[in-house]
Structure 1
Amino acid sequence: MFGVWHFSFTVADLDRSVDFYASLLGFQLVHRQDQDNDYTRRLVGYPDADLRIAQLAVPGQPRGISTHDLELVEYRTPRGEPFGPHRNRPGAAHLAMCVEDARADHARLSAAGVRFVSPPQEITAGINAGGFTCYFLDPDDITLELVQPPRTMRTPHDEGAESP
């Protein structure tokens, strides 16, 4: 392995999710496509698969071979049952996003109606001690996390200086 291509979430309504990730979280929409073909059906293992796909990128992140970081997938066929917000179930995953001010982002997103598991918590143990973190849910109950790194882990960019 020589890199990560993207990570992906299956969503119920692609348009709603693209709006959430782009408008509220700041991801950049790179590409949309429909995938209603034999290759995709073989790939996902559903003989009748018909998917809508959106690819999004974190602005300012270095681009490698892939043009995107996050792929959102809506299965038009076959539709699946929601997984729910069960973070303790094997197979559950979450995406942690680095932020400059977890409390300010919590306030902004809460005011926009985003559902949080908790307000930002100070990290008091481990390698990230001194930072802040909180979990929240996307429109499909996918767990997301805001992480404000401790000052000792911040780069010059985090402090408002120009990156080298």
Structure 2
Amino acid sequence: MTELLGFEHIGMTSGDLDRTIAFYCGLLGFKLVLRKPQIKGEAAFLDAGGGMLEVFAPGAVDPARDVPPHEAGVRHLTFAFTDIGIMIEKLAAAGVEIIEQPRIAHNKEMFKRVSFVRDPDGIIVELVERADGR
């Protein structure tokens, strides 16, 4: 028998690893755990505290495409913060595209407030404040 140990990582592609590390580590507070060359590019592991992003950068790539509601796929990445208003101000000052300003969450059992931004490759990132008791 085996047991689940926890969430490990999501693999994603970036067109510019330095820019991606600056966004996730420099702005959002992730920790760079590993960065190393690969056969056709470079990879990095960025720790979010409850799982990681494995970012592969092969060179020039097309920007991310939003997944329509009628298609299977990953729609966004979500990260929890104590105050998303402060984080949105920081991201806006850094020139990050803000899709949606902080608002009251629809799933109030899970979250107080939510907001949406885009990372440097166009991937949608949701910022949340957890509901009390979570």
Q: Match of 1:18?
A: 21
| Match status 1:73 vs 2:56 | yes
Contact 1:87 1:143 in 2 (8 A): no
Which of 53, 56, 63 does residue 46 from structure 2 map onto?
Answer: 56
How does 1:38-117 map onto structure 2 within 5 Å?
50-58=40-48, 61=49, 69-76=52-59, 80-84=61-65, 86-88=66-68, 90-117=72-99
Q: Which structure is larger by alpha-carbon Rg, 1 or 2?
A: 1
**Using the alignment, how far apart are the partners of 1:91 and 1:124 within structure 2?**
21
Candidates 112, 130, 144, aligned match of 2:125: 144
The CA deviation string for residues 81-130 of structure 1, in whole angstroms up to 9 with x for no partner, is: 3333x24253243211111111111112111111111100112555236x
Runs of 4+ in 1 over 4 A off after TM superposition: none
TM-score, scaled to structure 2: 0.83
Matched residue of 1:83: which SS?
coil
Over aligned residues, Cα RMSD in angstroms? Answer: 2.1
| Percent pairwise identity | 31
Matched residue SS, 2:18: helix
Q: Which has the higher strand share?
A: 2
1:125 & 1:22 partners in 2: Cα distance? 28
Q: Report how many aligned residue pairs link the two structures.
A: 129
| Cα deviation, residue 9, structure 1 | 1.6
Q: Distance in 2 between matches of 1:51 and 1:137?
A: 23
Unmatched runs of 5 consecutive residues or more in structure 1 = 37-49, 63-67, 155-164
The two structures have a TM-score, normalised by structure 1, of 0.69
Q: Distance in 1 between matches of 2:127 and 2:55?
A: 19
